[in-house]
Amino acid sequence: MISLLIDPEIDFTRLPRHVAIIMDGNGRWAKKRLLNRVQGHGKGADTVRTIVRTCHEIKLPILTLYAFSTENWCRPKKEVDALMMLFSTFLKSEQGKLKNNNIRLNALGQIDRLPQKVQKALHDTMDATKENNGMLLNIAVSYGGRSEIVRAVKNIALKVKKGLIDPESSPESITEQLITEHLYTSGMDDPDLLIRTSGEKRISNFLLWQIAYSEIFVTDTLWPDFNKDELLSILKNYQNRERRFGKL
Ligand code: IPE
Ligand code: IPE
Ligand code: MG
């Protein structure tokens, strides 16, 4: 912690407020070592612990981790089952640490599609950490950006029907702000920085609305090999970028 604070190259007063990470490459990491994919996911979970700890140490306000997409449900049942098992064990083992480190856990996605055991572990951990006001840790699980937008639009339509948005139901009341407020990330700043590991230069249905002006960083490092030093060097790179938001 001390060494981080005195690192002259990072300005800890100008950190991004929200970092989102597409944690990709567990399968390739395993393949390279002639291990099975599930062993890669297990090692990936260790990286999650390291990165959450680092983000907590540097006092990052929001960290969002993409753990499982709506499309990932189409993977072989054996892999999906193993991932679900891993999520619940991970949450149970981390709950105490999250609570004690003032980290609040939040889930983004179609939680009701998850097995009961995982839903319970998620709800237990969210409940145990709900009073925490340090870092907000979002886990995107069974998450898809398009389905998130569809859900928001449906909820808005329902409210319009009930006259809750605008008694006149004027289309003018549908604003960017209104849609933003109906996403899973309601009330949160958009990600300033989006990191994807394992070299793939695509978004894979992650936070489609929220990343409109995020800075993107793709590293070839596979998620199980990603570490604190690389995260810090990406933060340095971020601080040297000029964000223009379309202006001059
Ligand atoms: C990311 O690693 C984890 C999940 C999507 C659940 P992958 O499992 O996608 O690993 P690769 O891309 O096959 O290497
Ligand atoms: C994106 O990785 C989803 C997560 C990291 C959870 P994928 O491995 O599913 O993405 P594609 O299939 O390479 O686009
Ligand atoms: Mg992948």
What pLDDT is stored for residue 168 in this prediction? 82
Q: What ligand has the least distance to the C-alpha of 204?
A: 2
Domain count, the chain: 2
Question: In this structure, is residue 156 part of a structural domain?
Answer: yes
- The closest residue, in CA terms, to atom 12 on ligand 1 is 25
Do both 156 and 68 map to the same domain?
no
- The closest residue, in CA terms, to atom 13 on ligand 1 is 27
Ligand 2 atom showing the smallest separation from residue 204 Cα: 14
Question: In this structure, is residue 54 part of a structural domain?
Answer: yes
Nearest one of 87, 93, 88, 99 to 126, comparing CA atoms? 99
23 lines ligand 2 (CB under 6 A): yes
Do both 69 and 180 map to the same domain?
no
Segments forming the whole domain that contains residue 120 = 18-143+191-239
Do both 32 and 47 map to the same domain?
yes
144 lines ligand 1 (CB under 6 A): no
Do both 133 and 36 map to the same domain?
yes
Rounded average pLDDT per 10-residue block, the chain, 248 residues: 60 96 99 98 98 98 99 98 98 98 98 98 98 98 98 96 86 94 98 98 98 98 98 97 96
Do both 135 and 181 map to the same domain?
no
Question: Residue 114 is part of a domain; what is its CATH number?
Answer: 3.40.1180.10
Do both 49 and 66 map to the same domain?
yes
Cα 195 to Cα 9, 69, 163, 219: the distances in Å are 20, 16, 40, 8
Ligand 2 atom showing the smallest separation from residue 72 Cα: 9
Do both 61 and 137 map to the same domain?
yes
Question: In this structure, is residue 4 part of a structural domain?
Answer: no
Question: In this structure, is residue 244 part of a structural domain?
Answer: no
Do both 103 and 133 map to the same domain?
yes
What pLDDT is stored for residue 8 in this prediction? 63
Cα 241 to Cα 133, 211, 215, 218, 236: the distances in Å are 29, 16, 8, 15, 9
Do both 118 and 230 map to the same domain?
yes
Supply angle C-alpha 76, 78, 195, rounded to 5. 70
Question: In this structure, is residue 48 part of a structural domain?
Answer: yes
Q: CA 46 from chain center: how many Å?
A: 16
Cα 37 to Cα 69, 74, 205: the distances in Å are 17, 15, 22
Question: In this structure, is residue 12 part of a structural domain?
Answer: no
Do both 156 and 209 map to the same domain?
no
In which residue are the tokens 């619940």 written?
88
Distance (angstroms) between ligand 1 centre and the Cα of 221 equals: 13
- By the 8 A CB rule, do 8 and 237 touch? no
Question: In this structure, is residue 7 part of a structural domain?
Answer: no
The pick from 79, 198, 202 for probing ligand 1's pocket by mutation, whose C-beta has the most ligand atoms within 8 angstroms, reads 198
- Residue 84 is encoded by which pair of tokens? 């679900």
- By the 8 A CB rule, do 120 and 89 touch? no
- By the 8 A CB rule, do 126 and 107 touch? yes
Domain stops at, among 169, 188, 207: 188
Do both 113 and 224 map to the same domain?
yes
Question: In this structure, is residue 216 part of a structural domain?
Answer: yes
In which residue are the tokens 């969210």 written?
126
Do both 179 and 200 map to the same domain?
no
- Residue 195 is encoded by which pair of tokens? 């990191």
Nearest one of 106, 108, 143 to 128, comparing CA atoms? 106
- By the 8 A CB rule, do 28 and 200 touch? no
